Structure 1
Amino acid sequence: MQCNVCEFGCEINEYSKGRCGTYICTGDTIVQDPDIGYLGAYPVSIETIPLLHYYPSGKFLQVFGTGCNFQCSGCVARLLASGKSFNLSYLTPAQVIVKALQQECLGIVSTLNEPAANYYLFRDLAVQAKEKGLLIGCSTNCYFTDEILTNFGQLVDFVNVGIKGYSDKSYKTFGALSSAPVFRNISRLFEMGVHVETSVVYSRGNEDDIIKVAKAVSNISPAIPVQVMRFIPFGEAPIELEPSIGEAENLCTVLREHVNYVYLFNSPGTELLNTSCPECGSLLAEREFYGPMGSRLVKPWISYTCNCGNSVQVKGTTATKSFNEEGFMGGYRISRAFGMVHAVLTCLGILDDCKLMDIWGKISDTETLMQVHHMIQQPYSYLEFIRLIAEKANVPEKGEELVSFIHKRLEFVHNLAAENNNHKVYYCMGSPLFALNAGRMENNLVTFSGGMSINKQLQKEGKPGVNVSPSFINEHNPDTIFISGFLSRPLDEFYGLCQQYGIHTDAVKQQRVYAVPPSWDFGSPRWILGLMYIADKMHSGNSGIDLKKEADKLYLQFYGMPFEEATPNRSFHRPSSGIWPRYVMRCTHA
């Protein structure tokens, strides 16, 4: 039988569950695979989804399942999108509803995987949610058929539509045939009264296509927000596709000529998360970076109407109290936790997807994830994280091999630390004005190396950090500045911003600003290389550490390849984009 959920129209039979891998045929009816359910349900602030013009700061229950009809390079949830059947515990729609009510959420939002892959499951969830007075929505690529969209539009209150591009060529890259159904469906949903926001990924080279996206959205309504997601290369995607934050900000300026509200994500410190009046330019809502693809209101909305009389299209009242997620909870941070587990397993030689998901199932409860969140923030406690994952994977010997490798180098750096006790360091992410939280691993690496992290003076916390003023940096006058290896910025842009903001510390004057290599300071066991990198820079290259030699040892021992052959991207688990690993074990018990 032919599936009518999305435009692919897959044939579902005894041999095929479709592109999504989640549908089966029973008699003359296509139904959801009964083994499929929701893998997680966590309370979040709506801005972390992200939706910025819908019940600001509202508390929603985020859910996700498995399966997707698209095949996107650099997907942040590759295994969830794969549609494979894993031996995990699933939540039913009824159980999700109970959790939403217990957590006093305004509604439920489906993210991470595509709801078209779980359409009948999502339909049941939406019906039950509405019966209980809960709002319901999702993030979606919106490739539904016209027939299904009519029903879908009656189910949902809000959507964030991920647009892959304007041209048909951009959709063929992801396995689809045309962009037309997406823009047709956005228009239909908007006409049906569904609250619509859009997001589009900006990778270097697709600027013209994104401008055409903005024009197409504007033709539907210039009031529909356009969220620009600066491409962060995970998976096999090369790092050359990642535009700088400055390049992304320049593109957003162009897009604002066509739509009223343009926002920039994956770019710590940018001012383009704020809402300004499209008529007079007055600042109406101020936000800051709050984890992968998320934001947080710094100050609550006072009014949706500007002093000039122009009204901003925001639906729903602003929550009087902002909900702040703990640990890995909220938005796409759960995918980062997954990536960290994946990173350790890769070093332990476990490349089987099903084994990965099996171990994830053992540690993905809220209590264990909170425990993991604390473990990964300190060098020695990270060793316990390795032991935990190795134990769950039944490879304790391999775990001890990795622990021993890291411990030996910790002792070496510890012996150097006494020489750096007056060296002041500032650690930022992306922008000189976005400071990493005092308790994060990166700042603890500085302290472990004997440095004085000025970030430790910060009282306020966010995820993964907070905006600071130029005066904070100047007053503490760091000797060295490090830029995070997770979300970075080219040094020429960084120095340019320092000049623009009036940051004139010794680190800037003496050009002692360093961009840590990708995934060398957080998320992966490669942080041990980051620690040695930090210690060496604080010693002005006279630490006695041969970083190239140390990198070769780690890469050869735990990745089976020399460091010089690696072409790194932002992935936690992959040491190199492209062909690594040479021999990948696929799921053996799906």
Structure 2
Amino acid sequence: MLSFGTAGCNLGCKFCQNWDISTSREIDHLADRATPDAIAQAALRTGCDSVAFTYNDPTIFAEYAIDIAAACRERGVKSVAVSAGYISPQPRAELYGAVDAANIDLKGFSDDFYRRITGARLQTVLDTLSFIRHETDCWLEITTLLIPGHNDSDAEIKRMANWIVTELGPDVPHHFTAFHPDHRMQDVPPTPPATLSKARQIALDAGERFVYTGNVHDARGGTTWCPGCGAGLIVRDWHRVREYRLTADGCCPDCGRAVPGRFAERLGTFDGHRIPVRIASRRGSHPVGRRQP
């Protein structure tokens, strides 16, 4: 996957872990100037099957992202939006109708948390999740960063999981990831791994079928388990894929059960390294994109 971003954001999350990018107002912080075609070509040149709009929210460069998604699709490259999902209805339809997959941050499950910590509103994000799931062909996943003392209570996680199962269905993957002190929340401790494991279990008990832990070493919490026979199908630890057993059509090799998702026809090479990628020439020497596993 070729990942890239621009600068700025439409939220003001106090815990932002890409704050140097998301709070930037200087265009000179951008390393490259690249056309949609150049980005699609860079993906092909570096052996990437997909391009991800990430590091900052693609909502603020939606027109550019849509053009890139079109250029990628012409060349058989997929596009992925990594977003907070805080977007109005018309651009929402245009952006998520253009990309192949989306990972939406559901940052908490109370409007108070959203107002105080992010400057946004919960309902808009819930509307985006429902729209992507029911009105598009875009593959949807959800990520929740658990912040100790702010959005990690058992009750809030249970409400969130119940809403996901009821409104989106049990097969939308849900990632609980670990917070580390950053930006304006450096007085908050890191998320204990036990908190992630407990949240995962609460979500599983509520009926979610594919729940993961992230930003920690937890092979069990990072593995995709067959919903039929319980076999480990994609074994992950941190950012590494240790084992990949799905058949070419996305089924369990042991019981034949299909696993919901979008899977490549070939396996590829998995490791945990990020490789800087030059896309176009401009002032400065820093890369705009990175090739990820």
Q: With structure 1 as the length reference, what TM-score do the two structures score?
A: 0.43
**Alignment pair present for 1:62 and 2:3:** yes
Match for residue 264 of structure 1?
213
Alignment of 1:382-401 (within 5 A): none
**CA gap 1:362/1:151 in 2 versus in 1, 3 angstroms:** closer
Q: Which amino acid aligns with 1:218?
A: V
Deviation per residue, 1:514-546 (Å, 9 max, x gap): xxxxxxxxxxxxxxxxxxxxxxxxxxxxxxxxx
Q: Is the 8 A contact 1:301 1:318 kept in 2?
A: no
**CA gap 1:318/1:204 in 2 versus in 1, 3 angstroms:** farther
**Alignment pair present for 1:99 and 2:99:** no
**Among candidates 72, 81, 85, match of residue 138 of structure 1:** 81
**CA gap 1:325/1:251 in 2 versus in 1, 3 angstroms:** closer
**Alignment pair present for 1:246 and 2:190:** no
Superposition deviation, residue 324 in structure 1 = 3.5
**CA gap 1:68/1:286 in 2 versus in 1, 3 angstroms:** same
Deviation per residue, 1:10-63 (Å, 9 max, x gap): xxxxxxxxxxxxxxxxxxxxxxxxxxxxxxxxxxxxxxxxxxxxxxxxxx2111
**CA gap 1:138/1:84 in 2 versus in 1, 3 angstroms:** same
Structure with bigger helix share is 1
Match for residue 210 of structure 1?
157
Match for residue 285 of structure 1?
234
Superposition deviation, residue 281 in structure 1 = 3.0
Superposition deviation, residue 165 in structure 1 = 1.1
State the alpha-carbon separation in 2 of the partners of residues 73 and 199 from structure 1. Answer: 17
State the alpha-carbon separation in 2 of the partners of residues 236 and 179 from structure 1. Answer: 21
Superposition deviation, residue 174 in structure 1 = 3.7
State the alpha-carbon separation in 1 of the partners of residues 272 and 145 from structure 2. Answer: 25
**Alignment pair present for 1:166 and 2:88:** no
**Helix, strand or coil at the partner of 1:100:** helix
**Among candidates 108, 115, 123, match of residue 180 of structure 1:** 123
Superposition deviation, residue 266 in structure 1 = 1.4
**Among candidates 5, 11, 14, match of residue 73 of structure 1:** 14
Deviation per residue, 1:456-507 (Å, 9 max, x gap): xxxxxxx9xxxxxxxxxxxxxxxxxxxxxxxxxxxxxxxxxxxxxxxxxxxx
State the alpha-carbon separation in 2 of the partners of residues 325 and 282 from structure 1. Answer: 24
State the alpha-carbon separation in 2 of the partners of residues 310 and 324 from structure 1. Answer: 27
Superposition deviation, residue 142 in structure 1 = 0.9
Q: Name the count of aligned residue pairs.
A: 273
Aligned sequence identity (%): 20
Match for residue 286 of structure 2?
364
Larger radius of gyration: 1
**Among candidates 162, 180, 201, match of residue 232 of structure 1:** 180
State the alpha-carbon separation in 1 of the partners of residues 228 and 287 from structure 2. Answer: 47
Q: Which amino acid aligns with 1:297?
A: V
Q: Is the 8 A contact 1:70 1:174 kept in 2?
A: no
Gap regions ≥5 residues in structure 1: 1-59, 290-294, 331-360, 370-462, 464-590
Superposition deviation, residue 311 in structure 1 = 2.4
Superposition deviation, residue 282 in structure 1 = 2.7
**Alignment pair present for 1:312 and 2:259:** yes
**Among candidates 53, 58, 61, match of residue 110 of structure 1:** 53
Q: Is the 8 A contact 1:300 1:318 kept in 2?
A: no
Gap regions ≥5 residues in structure 2: 277-282
State the alpha-carbon separation in 2 of the partners of residues 308 and 61 from structure 1. Answer: 34
Superposition deviation, residue 267 in structure 1 = 1.2
**CA gap 1:101/1:244 in 2 versus in 1, 3 angstroms:** same
**CA gap 1:211/1:287 in 2 versus in 1, 3 angstroms:** same
Deviation per residue, 1:131-162 (Å, 9 max, x gap): 22221111001111111111112211001001
Superposition deviation, residue 79 in structure 1 = 1.9
CA-atom RMSD in angstroms: 2.4
Superposition deviation, residue 175 in structure 1 = 4.2
**Helix, strand or coil at the partner of 2:82:** strand
| Moved beyond 6 Å, runs of 4+ | none
Q: With structure 2 as the length reference, what TM-score do the two structures score?
A: 0.84
Match for residue 31 of structure 2?
89
Match for residue 298 of structure 1?
242
